[in-house]
Chains A and B, each alone.
Chain A
Amino acid sequence: MDNTILKAKNITKTYPNGVKALDDISFEIKKGEFIVVIGPSGSGKSTLLRSLNKLIDLTSGSVTIDGEEILNKKGKNLRLLRRKMAMIFQHYNLVYRLSVMQNVLHGRLGYMTNINGVFGNYSEEDKLKAIELLNEIELGDHIYNRAGDLSGGQKQRVGIARAIMQDPQIILCDEPIASLDPSSSKIIMDIIFNMAKKRGITCIVNLHQIDVAIKYATRIIGLSKGKIVFNDVAENLDNKTIETIYNTSIDNLMINGALKTM
């Protein structure tokens, strides 16, 4: 059976003001891959990610997830699709006044009936799963704290836990470490990478740190002005390509770590 979990064909997104954020993009993603999308601001990274779970509607083209076309999904079907695809945000997107545990349990809302979800009637098994998960990422001590009381790195860990609770097939990460300090950034990337690997979850991550991309990615996709200019394994990313993506000489870019030169 085909190992492809996501297939994007000729997708285009043109905003009402005429800006073409995505210009006829096609790519395929296999199960278990850790894809990192890099590119300057405005290249369409965020638009691409958000179009995969229909937060943004595409102007044309098709996206197939696990064999299902997402274009026409609405209402209940859309929710069923979304619970298969978790998302981690740059600004964590938690409900700050609720406890850490409640935020993590939100991941199960897609699997619960309307009434149960509204009243927070989570099953005991779900609660146990949440506890195990929080223990694994070392947030056990904060389980009853308000999510808003945590530090940035801790909040993102809650976000990750919420994503994992969904039992997703794919996790989308929109600049997950952009708001974090270097040490928290490493912790978060390690957690995302290891959790995904352990559970066989495919990841698509937006980053603007090229060195981080090279370190974790099985494959890198480089976007520039809405088009794909690189779609290959990390080892093959060379300086020349980076210069094309960011449209400037390598000396003008702040990159740490070793890069292969052609």
Chain B
Amino acid sequence: MSEIALRAIDILPHIKICRKGKIKTKNSTQDRVINIFLICLVVISIFSFLPLDIDWIKLATRIPDIGIIFAKLSQLSLKNFDFTLIALLETISITILATVYGILIGLFFGAFAARNLVKNRVVTTCLTSFFTFLRAVPTPVWVLLALVCFGLGPVAGIVGLSIHAIAFFARAFSQSFEDVPYEVIEALEATGANKLQVFFAAVLPAAMSQIVAWAGLRFEINFQESAILGMVGAGGIGFAITTSMQSYNYGVAGLAMILVFVYAYLIELAFTTVKKKYIQ
């Protein structure tokens, strides 16, 4: 141990010295956990590259091509603009319908999955697990299935999107219902109201603000999703984008993408203004 270290311990006896004889600047036990965790993450990440059969060199050399595509996309063209506009409207419609059905059916199932409304644990657990399963599968998979069942076109998009939306709302609503304090339900039941009356008079209004919040959030998400779904064939603007890209009409595709952004931005703007007014 160096002389300096000895002097340090003289002043503050609990100073720690590391093996090389140097004074420690921190308590390393806390950091150890995070460091080990970090190292594990890095190691796992590096190992995750190995199974991938990718020709990295070829990939790297072709990266600049991406810029070319962007250049082509930004040469916006108004060709077939009416089709693009209708496609956008179709996407918006798909979003609206899926959200509305999602909410209505989700409310119904959500009520049955709420543990404070339905005492039967088997029912609630089954429903909750079922919806967790439905939500875990990404929406495009459901849409793909819907395509198989119903053929190409917006119907598949609506059904596919609805499945995910219903599952989402069922879960969200059941949570909101469960958040309603037990005293409220108890009080109404004591006056002699039956289950249905309790639900409509107390639980629903209490959870309403949360419901509205979820609905708004979902609407935004649904729009993005429905735009994407079009790309796998479910109609709407996504479909317009893919078809125009596949026929090398990049200008049209670029314009369509910009439309999507503008619309998404407007919706977000609308929601924030409404929220401000409503919270007032």
Are chains A and B touching in the complex at the 8 Å CB cutoff?
A: yes
Q: Which residues of A contact B (CB under 8 A)?
A: 98-99, 101-102, 105, 120, 122, 124-125, 127-128, 131-132, 134-135, 140-141, 143-146
Are B26 and A135 within 8 A (Cβ)?
no
Could you tell me the distance between the alpha carbons of A125 and B23 in the complex, rounded to whole angstroms?
10
Contact with A along B1-16 (1 / 0, CB 8 A): 0101101100110111
Q: Which residue of A lies closest to B24 (CB)?
A: A144
Are A132 and B23 within 8 A (Cβ)?
no
- Chain B residues with Cβ below 8 Å from A140 are 11-12
- Chain B residues with Cβ below 8 Å from A102 are 25-26
- Chain A residues with Cβ below 8 Å from B4 are 124-125, 127-128
Sample 26 A-B pairs with CB under 8 A, ordered by A number. Answer: A99-B25, A99-B26, A101-B25, A101-B26, A102-B26, A105-B25, A120-B25, A124-B4, A124-B5, A124-B22, A124-B23, A127-B4, A127-B8, A127-B23, A127-B25, A131-B23, A132-B11, A135-B11, A135-B12, A140-B11, A140-B12, A143-B12, A143-B15, A144-B24, A144-B26, A144-B27
Kindly identify, within residues 19 to 47 of chain B, every residue whose CB is under 8 Å from any CB belonging to chain A: 22-27, 30
Main secondary structure on A side of the interface with B: helix
Could you tell me the distance between the alpha carbons of A132 and B7 in the complex, rounded to whole angstroms?
10
> Chain A nearest CB: distance from B5 CB in Å?
7
Could you tell me the distance between the alpha carbons of A214 and B193 in the complex, rounded to whole angstroms?
72
Given A128-B4, A128-B8, A131-B11, verify A144-B23 contact (CB < 8 Å). no
Please give me the 9 A-B residue pairs with the lowest Cβ-Cβ distance, nearest first. Answer: A99-B26, A144-B27, A124-B4, A127-B23, A140-B12, A101-B25, A135-B11, A131-B8, A102-B25
- Chain B residues with Cβ below 8 Å from A128 are 4, 7-8, 23
Given contacts A131-B8, A132-B11, A144-B27, 19 further A-B contacts (CB under 8 A): A99-B25, A102-B26, A124-B5, A124-B22, A125-B4, A127-B4, A127-B8, A127-B25, A128-B7, A128-B23, A131-B23, A135-B11, A135-B12, A140-B11, A140-B12, A143-B15, A144-B16, A144-B24, A146-B30
Q: Which residue of B lies closest to A120 (CB)?
A: B25
Given A99-B25, A99-B26, A102-B25, verify A124-B2 contact (CB < 8 Å). yes
Could you tell me the distance between the alpha carbons of A144 and B15 in the complex, rounded to whole angstroms?
9
- Chain B residues with Cβ below 8 Å from A127 are 4, 8, 22-23, 25
Using a Cβ cutoff of 8 Å, how many contacts connect chains A and B? 47
Could you tell me the distance between the alpha carbons of A99 and B25 in the complex, rounded to whole angstroms?
7
Q: Which residue of B lies closest to A101 (CB)?
A: B25
Could you tell me the distance between the alpha carbons of A37 and B132 in the complex, rounded to whole angstroms?
62
Centre residue among A125, A128, A134 by max chain B CB count within 10 A: A128
> Chain A nearest CB: distance from B30 CB in Å?
8
Q: Which residue of A lies closest to B22 (CB)?
A: A124
Are B25 and A122 within 8 A (Cβ)?
yes
Are B15 and A131 within 8 A (Cβ)?
yes
- Chain A residues with Cβ below 8 Å from B30 are 146
- Chain A residues with Cβ below 8 Å from B5 are 124
- Chain B residues with Cβ below 8 Å from A132 are 11
Centre residue among A134, A140, A145 by max chain B CB count within 10 A: A140
> Chain A nearest CB: distance from B14 CB in Å?
8
- Chain A residues with Cβ below 8 Å from B7 are 128
Could you tell me the distance between the alpha carbons of A98 and B28 in the complex, rounded to whole angstroms?
11
Q: Which residue of B lies closest to A130 (CB)?
A: B25
> Chain B nearest CB: distance from A148 CB in Å?
12
Could you tell me the distance between the alpha carbons of A105 and B25 in the complex, rounded to whole angstroms?
9
- Chain A residues with Cβ below 8 Å from B23 are 124, 127-128, 131
- Chain A residues with Cβ below 8 Å from B14 are 141, 143
Q: Which residue of A lies closest to B23 (CB)?
A: A127
Q: Which residue of B lies closest to A125 (CB)?
A: B4
> Chain B nearest CB: distance from A167 CB in Å?
18
- Chain B residues with Cβ below 8 Å from A98 are 26
- Chain B residues with Cβ below 8 Å from A99 are 25-27
Q: Which residue of A lies closest to B2 (CB)?
A: A124
Could you tell me the distance between the alpha carbons of A98 and B34 in the complex, rounded to whole angstroms?
13
- Chain B residues with Cβ below 8 Å from A146 are 30
Q: Which residue of A lies closest to B15 (CB)?
A: A131
- Chain A residues with Cβ below 8 Å from B12 are 131, 134-135, 140, 143
Could you tell me the distance between the alpha carbons of A105 and B30 in the complex, rounded to whole angstroms?
20
Could you tell me the distance between the alpha carbons of A135 and B7 in the complex, rounded to whole angstroms?
13
Centre residue among B15, B22, B25 by max chain A CB count within 10 A: B25
Q: Which residue of A lies closest to B26 (CB)?
A: A99
> Chain A nearest CB: distance from B60 CB in Å?
30
